[in-house]
Amino acid sequence: MSLIHVSDRIFIAGAHGMAGSAISRALMTRGYTNQLTPDRSELDLLDGTAVQRWMKTHQPDVVVLAAAKVGGIQANNSQPAGFLLDNLKIETHVIETAWNNCVRRLLFLGSSCIYPKFAPQPIREEALLTGALEPTNAWYAIAKICGIKLGEALRKQYDFDAISLMPTNLYGPGDNYHLTESHVLPALIRRFHQAKESNAPSVCCWGTGTPLREFLHADDLGEACVFALENWDPTAADSPRDEVGEPLPFLNVGTGCDISIRELAKQVATTVGYPGQIQWDQSKPDGTPKKQLDVSRLQTMGWQAQISLKKGLELTYADFLDQLSKVMLRG
């Protein structure tokens, strides 16, 4: 029996972002049409009073927290207070208000950056808080850890049904393609597209190209979120347990496969149709050397990613061109 129902009022915080819109689409295809998807002009998640007022008025049954302040290495380095403060406010306002308003079920989206920089690979959920974080995104990671722990604490103390999923690096429709504020994959798409349009002989990418990363298409994440909402009860006898037999309050989501940034750059160049050379600025930081999630627990429950990186890149480049045609891109 599904843990959510088609009649439920489902509030998706961040419904107009890449992850939130993918979750909304996945829910819609399953018949969950009673969605509450306010944009920023309708509900400012940084305003706690506004969140309380909105939640009391609309009384959602289920909440999905996909909203966050996000960005790449440069954005994290230049805006540490912004990443920490904004994300802590969003999480506290939404999660606490959901609990206070007797929301029946809540899903919080974390990030794989919560894990230590040198966590054993592939990374199991037990690696959380076992070592130092990657410094280039520590502020964002700390905020995400707080969101996970807040949900866990409310479940432990008040039986609030909060669950969390930790997706690996996301990409897909609705991504941010800003050259310096976006993540690596969308930034590469824009950089190679601009090089193709200008007939540039080469493209210079950050770092050495040796770090290994795992990439998950947003629509796969959307499907994983619906699967978890429908099927995952951490208190059930057959739910995933940690190494000492305790119920896991969060699960990894990914493909279970990684790729070097150097190889990714080649695949992006091929997808875009850029024929020039690829150079590497080794004075720029690489970040974590390898980050691949152990996704065996969610797979054992019956879910796994379906969109290949090749297909996902094609879909994402089409989205980039669509955004470009609408003059939606900045930076």
> Over the range 102-139, which residues count as b (16 or more CB within 10 Å of their CB) and which as e?
ebebbbbbbbbbbbbbebebbbbbebbeeeebbebbbb
| Assigned domain for 184 exists | no
pLDDT averaged over every residue in the chain: 94
Write the pLDDT tens digit of every residue in 251-301. Answer: 999 999 999 999 999 999 999 999 999 999 999 888 778 889 999 999 999
Number of domains in the chain: 1
Specify whether 158 is catalytic. no
- 247: β partners: 241
Query: Is 264 contained in some domain?
Result: no
For every residue of 91-105, DSSP letters joined together read HHHHHHHHHHTT-SE
Over the stretch 119-136, which tens digit does the pLDDT of each residue have? 999 999 999 999 999 888
Percentage of the chain exceeding pLDDT 90: 85
In a domain, 329, yes or no: no
Catalytic residue among 32, 115, 140, 317: 140
pLDDT band at 75 (very low <50, low <70, confident <90, very high): confident
CATH number of 154's domain: 3.40.50.720
Per the structure, the complete domain to which residue 92 belongs is given by 10-175+215-256+291-306
Structure tokens at 90: 């969003």
pLDDT in tens, 201-229: 999 998 999 999 999 999 999 999 999 99
Phi, psi for residue 9 in degrees, rounded to 5: -85, 115
At residue 183, the pLDDT reads 79
* pLDDT computed for residue 180 by the predictor: 67
Q: What is the mean pLDDT of residues 189-198?
A: 96
Whether 207 is in a domain gets the answer no
pLDDT of residue 328: 58
Please report whether residue 197 resides in a domain: no
Residue 272, class by beta-carbon neighbours within 10 Å (0-12 exposed, 13-18 middle, 19+ buried)? buried
Please state, in angstroms and rounded to a whole number, the distance separating the CA atoms of residues 100 and 49: 13
Mean pLDDT of 103-107: 98
- Asked if residue 323 is part of any domain, the answer here is no
Structural domain includes residue 268: no
Q: Please give the model's pTM, rounded to 2 decimal places.
A: 0.93
